[in-house]
Structure 1
Amino acid sequence: MTDGYLDLPVDERSREVLAARGLDLRLVPGDDDAAFDAWSQSQSRGFLESERTPSQLAAMRQRAAERRTTGVYDPRGAEPERPVGTIASWPTELSVPGGILPSWAISSVTVAPTHHRRGIARAMMEAELRTAQALGVPMASLTVTESTLYGRYGFGPAADSAAWRLDVRRAGWIGPEASGRLDFVSRDELRRLAPEVHERARPGWPGEVVVPAAEWDGLVGTRPDVTDDAAVRAVRYTAPDGVVRGLVAYRIQENREDFSRSLAEVSYLVAEDADAYAALWRFLVELDSVAELRATELSVAEPVRWMIADQRAATVTVREHHYLRILDVRAALAGRAYGGPGVLALDVTDPTGLAGGRWLLAADADGTAEVAEWTDAEAPRDAVVVHTSIADLSSMYLGSVSLATLAAAGRVRASDPAAAARVLGWHVPARLSFWY
């Protein structure tokens, strides 16, 4: 489906729109180090980061090997070799209720402040969406630094993340005792094990995607261009059958005034089953000389909340995290399982014209569904009629936000919101355990 994506030409429609404004949309060749370094410096500036050092640029080139990198250039600018807009993309797999769906991951979206309000962001985003749709990819996805920007392109927040601050002295472990064993391992060993364990665990968590190969070093503390990664400590959980089913990476920030009140920060945790989950969290909650534990990119419904004696020991902050954008309604709806039986007549609007239409979704009691175009003037008598935008349908897609909630908020209209919510719901809240 996506073979040769790195070398596809840029979207011609967006290229022409920008050319009419004196700007040039073009790919950054993977073998042109100078062009990529210039792109990287523009990306760093766009995210308010420092100029990259030569070693950091070399590491970024390595990490970007699987990404389709695009820039917008101003030939009349003081630095025409540096893009005034950046974006990157690659094909991935998205875990969805009951299955896996191909998706188009988008990242590194920046526009130079000197070139705001010239249509650069819209042209880049629409180019990516049309490219993915032309490749037959039914979904696009991204994580965002600014939450108000992407609804205009049809994206909706579909998976929230929770950040925990846990007073471990107050928490008190009351959860189960796992039957496997815990061992410290090197960061290199963690780097070797993490992709396999993550891929085994990922299908059970709607909203997760394949971690790009080059992103692992940042997650587990083995990036050669980051000097403080030596502080990362790694622990593995091995089940009684000898299989490693859980991993955690964390670092300690010592409290110089009172060493017994140090801070532990979790940078990565993956658990394939309940035993691994309980073992790793108990280890963290009972760390010696630690008064506070912090962890981010967690599920909004972490079981560990019910494994501690005092839930008020946890201060939990929730925000939207993973945004989805359906590009093929029929393929996306047919690609997931459903929380209950029912027939939905979906009237979907899409201001970009990419994925609007009317669709009939008939879900069985076993969670499977048939999806067909809705061409009749009237919906079937047993159908719940739902009027929704593509952004709100994308938000509901993983089952984390109820259609009834969006109906109460005035975002969607349905003849029976509760019945529609039961069909589209799912028993596992969506999550994404990292940024990309």
Structure 2
Amino acid sequence: MTDLDTSFHDAPLDAELSAQLAAQRLDVRRVDDASRAEVDAWLDAVSRGFLDGERNDTQRQAFFDRGAYRRKLGVFDADAPHPEVPVATFASWGTRLTVPGGAATACAISSVTVAPTHRRRGLLRTLMAGELRTAAAAGFAVAVLTVSESGIYGRFGFAPAASAAHWRIDVRRAGWRGPDAPEAGRIDFITREEGRALAEALHDRVRAATPGEIDMPGGHWDRFFGTRPDAEKAEALRVVQYRSPAGAVEGLALYRVAENHDDFAASTIDLDLLLAATDAAYSGLWRFFLSMDLIGTIRAGELSVDEPLWWMIADQRAATITVRDHQYVRVLDPAAALEARCYAVADEIVLEIDDPLGIATGPVVLRTEPDGTARVLDAGAAGDDPLRVRLGVAELSAILLGGVSPSTLARAGRLHTDDPSRVTRLFAGTQAPSLGFWY
């Protein structure tokens, strides 16, 4: 962890958060990462909140061994039959969010639950507001999360900033129109353990070039590759790698096959992960899967809404694509967030930001330079008669990665300015943002 990550992990609880819960005779505290009993009870509450079954000892130990990087909060009710099990949970940790041309410090949020017995008491709002204030005070530019219920987080200033496409491909119909040259490299099967060893460095290359991506959270690689003790059906996983003519591993794919017992030539591939650091690796891996024998359907999720694959298959109607909200972003520090990215044009505008939690409220001047860099200044530094943009922190968060046009938000009544096209040119991105996993 970086110094910022560590200081946030160990930061004291927000005083307003503690006071509001104490008024309900509830106690909020950080879970002790060194206490297996406390972590087990917290994990049980998370499992219950996401409608999962009870964890077994192997699963609990695996989480305990890999989850210390998370700042874990629990809300406890002393009058409950099992007061050691929290009635609400919250987890967060420091990470880096890739933005166009750069990266912003980010507080990632997960494991947000409230027990059905304690609903409608404001526990989620109190926890979220308190931890966002703590993250902002620690120095994070943004907060990020993926959600199971998409209607909850807009009231806290979050906005869907990177959508995910889910593909279902009819292989027999799709064909191939992409590059054919096999001399571009070779594909080989490797073990799950070998794939796990390669994945982290390869993902770092992909992440740095893809707006919307974050560092892979601790424990996720072992979960993907089935290399942790609590892995289920790991034997069904297969791994292939792509190597360049020079011998460098530039791509990796993790998949499983579901046989069709009525037609063995129409089995299904579920592509769990495809990492490609080069165009050659991308086309080589997709060509491999689309030409595999006995496969009738390929399913793949968490893809970009602008996949090059769309232009590599001969029949685009062979692909059924569903797009959903995925990576949510919430600006905490407008100056840090806006200065982290690059811009396509030189300009100066005033952003009048409204934040329901008061964290990022206020007018700021965004001044961009011909080289793409930016500075955020106090409102008094604006030139004569500047273009003003009135928007909420959610709308600012939505346009940060370039995944939605300010003109679109203006037409939707979510952003107000005299010249939406000018703002759109400023925030335009050259690559659709995406995030390849859930956390």
Aligned residue runs from structure 1 range 327-346, under 5 A: 327-346=332-351
Q: Does the CA-based 8 Å contact 2:7-2:138 persist in structure 1?
A: no
What corresponds to 2:326 in structure 1? 321
TM-score (structure 2 length as normaliser): 0.97
Match of 2:58 among 34, 55, 60: 55
Cα offsets for 1:95-148 (capped at 9, x unmatched):
110011111011000000110111110111112211111111111100000001
1:223 is displaced (CA, Å) by 3.0
What corresponds to 1:251 in structure 2? 256
Q: Does the CA-based 8 Å contact 2:185-2:245 persist in structure 1?
A: yes
1:222 is displaced (CA, Å) by 2.2
What corresponds to 1:103 in structure 2? 106
1:83 is displaced (CA, Å) by 0.3
1:212 is displaced (CA, Å) by 1.6
Q: Does 1:64 align with 2:82?
A: no
Amino acid at match of 1:412: L
Match of 1:310 among 312, 315, 328: 315
User: Aligned equivalents of 1:359 and 1:294: distance in 2?
Assistant: 45
What corresponds to 1:262 in structure 2? 267
User: Aligned equivalents of 1:259 and 1:277: distance in 2?
Assistant: 27
What corresponds to 1:113 in structure 2? 116
What corresponds to 1:401 in structure 2? 404
What corresponds to 1:430 in structure 2? 433
Aligned residue runs from structure 1 range 13-24, under 5 A: 13-24=16-27
1:367 is displaced (CA, Å) by 1.7
User: Aligned equivalents of 1:65 and 1:243: distance in 2?
Assistant: 34
User: Aligned equivalents of 2:294 and 2:62: distance in 1?
Assistant: 35
Structure 1 residue runs without a partner (length 5+): none
Q: Bigger shift: 313-322 or 116-125?
A: 116-125
Amino acid at match of 1:46: G
What corresponds to 2:289 in structure 1? 284
Q: Does 1:41 align with 2:73?
A: no
What corresponds to 2:29 in structure 1? 26
1:381 is displaced (CA, Å) by 4.4
Amino acid at match of 2:419: D
1:375 is displaced (CA, Å) by 2.7
Q: Does 1:155 align with 2:158?
A: yes
Amino acid at match of 1:148: G
Cα offsets for 1:262-297 (capped at 9, x unmatched):
000001111001011101111111111000000000
Matched residue count: 434
Match of 1:369 among 370, 374, 391: 374
Amino acid at match of 1:238: R
Q: Does the CA-based 8 Å contact 1:63-1:215 persist in structure 2?
A: no
What corresponds to 2:175 in structure 1? 172
Q: Does the CA-based 8 Å contact 2:226-2:232 persist in structure 1?
A: no
User: Aligned equivalents of 1:167 and 1:21: distance in 2?
Assistant: 55
User: Aligned equivalents of 2:10 and 2:334: distance in 1?
Assistant: 27
SS in 1 for 2:233: helix
Match of 2:92 among 89, 94, 115: 89
User: Aligned equivalents of 2:358 and 2:217: distance in 1?
Assistant: 30
Match of 1:201 among 199, 206, 212: 206
1:351 is displaced (CA, Å) by 1.3
What corresponds to 2:192 in structure 1? 187
1:382 is displaced (CA, Å) by 6.4
What corresponds to 2:231 in structure 1? 226
Identical-residue share of aligned pairs (%): 48
Q: Bigger shift: 223-232 or 165-174?
A: 223-232
Structure 1 outlier segments of 4+, above 6 Å = none
SS in 2 for 1:176: coil
Q: Bigger shift: 355-364 or 42-51?
A: 355-364
User: Aligned equivalents of 1:177 and 1:65: distance in 2?
Assistant: 46
Instruction: Tell me: CA distance 1:4–1:362, structure 2 relative to 1, closer, same or farther (3 Å).
Output: closer
Q: Does the CA-based 8 Å contact 1:172-1:310 persist in structure 2?
A: yes
Amino acid at match of 1:330: A
User: Aligned equivalents of 1:180 and 1:65: distance in 2?
Assistant: 40
User: Aligned equivalents of 2:168 and 2:232: distance in 1?
Assistant: 26
Amino acid at match of 1:249: L
Q: Does the CA-based 8 Å contact 1:185-1:235 persist in structure 2?
A: yes
What corresponds to 2:76 in structure 1? 73
Q: Bigger shift: 113-122 or 358-367?
A: 358-367
Structure 2 residue runs without a partner (length 5+): none
Amino acid at match of 1:193: L
TM-score (structure 1 length as normaliser): 0.97
Q: Does the CA-based 8 Å contact 1:342-1:420 persist in structure 2?
A: no
SS in 2 for 1:199: helix
Amino acid at match of 2:236: A
SS in 2 for 1:91: strand
Match of 2:365 among 343, 346, 360: 360
SS in 2 for 1:93: strand
User: Aligned equivalents of 1:27 and 1:175: distance in 2?
Assistant: 52
Q: Does the CA-based 8 Å contact 1:94-1:102 persist in structure 2?
A: yes
User: Aligned equivalents of 2:344 and 2:81: distance in 1?
Assistant: 56
Aligned residues: CA RMSD: 1.2
1:56 is displaced (CA, Å) by 1.0
Q: Does 1:132 align with 2:138?
A: no
User: Aligned equivalents of 2:432 and 2:384: distance in 1?
Assistant: 31
User: Aligned equivalents of 1:78 and 1:368: distance in 2?
Assistant: 57
